Amino acid sequence: MVQRKVQLIAGTTYTVSLPKDWMKKYSLKEKSLVNIEELGDGSLSLHPSAKIKDRDKEKITLNIDNYGANIDQVIFAAYYLGFENIIISSKESISNDLRSLIKKAVVYMSGTEIIFEDLKQVEIKVLLDMSKINVNQLFFRINIILNATINHIINGLEMKDISRNEEEIDRLYHLVAKMISLSSTNTNTLIESEINKISYILPYFLISKRLENIGDYLNALAKYMKKNDIDAKPFRRILKLIGQRISKYINLLVKKEFELFKEKKYGTLKVLEEDVQKLKNNNIQIYLNNIIRFLGDIEEEIINITFYKRLIEKNIL
């Protein structure tokens, strides 16, 4: 943090000087435009008006010898932070097992490809234009895929399609996480992503994680049913209601028309839980109860966003 004195010029204009290092970092000069926004706590947010390329995020080199089998998660973290080139290197050579982890991570990172590879190095290039993606599009896509998976479980276990859906949800989750991470430090991304408010960042992240969890459990449920030759008929209605609930939550997020304060908290979900308890298969109960629990977590976050939205409208937040 730096402190600056407010100066009065010609008795009419108040000015504050900007840090020189910050000006250099974003290639700003005299007459450059900056955006200034007053936040709910009285502080000011200032950022370049034009989208500025952050040179510090052009490249990162990761020594795989420092991370070992955790390298895939570190790659995801670098992806979330917005690095455009991720270089993984080793003093000796990258083992086949670690190379496999790297390539598997790339599969789940939208808009990336390996552009160079040898015994000691792998270079990943991120080709995404974040200004053309928004979080609402991604949530809408996740909703479609989750409901497609539910339909497959109800109407016939097309395991290849269900597996592909689960992988696509994972890819979309990592893209949402990247967008949310960048929004927390870059106001331009916050606006372009259509998250819009800092207060929404944590709820959006938690919702995206729970949607990914639901995808994982639907996939696991389908595998269990396939292995044990179980028909979905006894819990078809429950699955349909789960799909409807997911769609309702996503529509609330996309349209920003939050109405859950008018509903009894967990009302529909408690009915679902009661129906699940009537099923005879304990393992099916476990899968469905976990999915319902994740829906409850999403409902809580939407209620939080609804509250934050009201505070923002009253200029309290």
The pLDDT of residue 55 is: 57
223: pLDDT confidence band, cut at 50, 70 and 90?
Answer: very high
Average pLDDT, the chain: 89
Go through the domains of the chain in sequence order and give each one's CATH number.
Answer: 7-48 (2.10.260), 55-126 (3.30.110), 131-313 (1.20.58.220)
The pLDDT of residue 11 is: 73
Cβ contact 177:205 at 8 Å? yes
| DSSP-assigned states of every residue in the chain | ------EEETTTEEE-PPPHHHHHHTT--TT--EEEEE-TTS-EEEEESS----GGGSEEEEEHHHHGGGHHHHHHHHHHHT-SEEEEE-SS---HHHHHHHHHHHHTSTTEEEEEE-SSEEEEEE---GGG--HHHHHHHHHHHHHHHHHHHHH---HHHHHHHHHHHHHHHHHHHHHHHHHTT-HHHHHHTT---GGGHHHHHHHHHHHHHHHHHHHHHHHHHHHTT--SGGGHHHHHHHHHHHHHHHHHHHHT---GGGSPTTHHHHHHHHHHHT-S-HHHHHHHHHHHHHHHHHHHHHHHHHHHHHHHHTT--
pLDDT in tens, 300-317: 999 899 888 888 888 887
Q: Per-residue pLDDT averaged across 75-102, rounded?
A: 95
pLDDT in tens, 247-285: 999 998 887 766 555 666 667 899 999 999 999 999 999
Percent of the chain with pLDDT over 90: 63
Q: Could you tell me the two tokens for 153?
A: 């479980």
Say what the pTM is. 0.83
Instruction: Examine the pLDDT at 184 and tell me if it is beyond 80.
Output: yes
The pLDDT of residue 162 is: 96
pLDDT in tens, 57-84: 789 999 999 999 999 999 999 999 999 9
The pLDDT of residue 268 is: 84
> Which position has the higher pLDDT, 137 or 131?
137
The pLDDT of residue 153 is: 97
The pLDDT of residue 49 is: 66
The pLDDT of residue 43 is: 72
Q: Could you tell me the two tokens for 243?
A: 């799909």
The pLDDT of residue 225 is: 97
How far is Cα 167 from Cα 174, in angstroms, rounded to an integer?
Answer: 11
> Which position has the higher pLDDT, 196 or 217?
217
pLDDT in tens, 41-54: 567 777 776 555 55
Q: Per-residue pLDDT averaged across 196-207, rounded?
A: 93
pLDDT in tens, 146-179: 999 999 999 988 899 999 999 999 999 999 999 9
The pLDDT of residue 104 is: 95
β 13-15/7-9 pair status: antiparallel
Q: Could you tell me the two tokens for 239?
A: 């699955």
pLDDT in tens, 11-49: 778 888 888 887 877 778 887 788 777 665 567 777 776
| Tokens 């960042």, located at residue | 201
Q: Per-residue pLDDT averaged across 95-107, rounded?
A: 96
Question: What is the sign, positive or negative, of the torsion defined by CA atoms of 245, 247, 248, 254?
Answer: positive
How far is Cα 113 from Cα 224, in angstroms, rounded to an integer?
Answer: 33
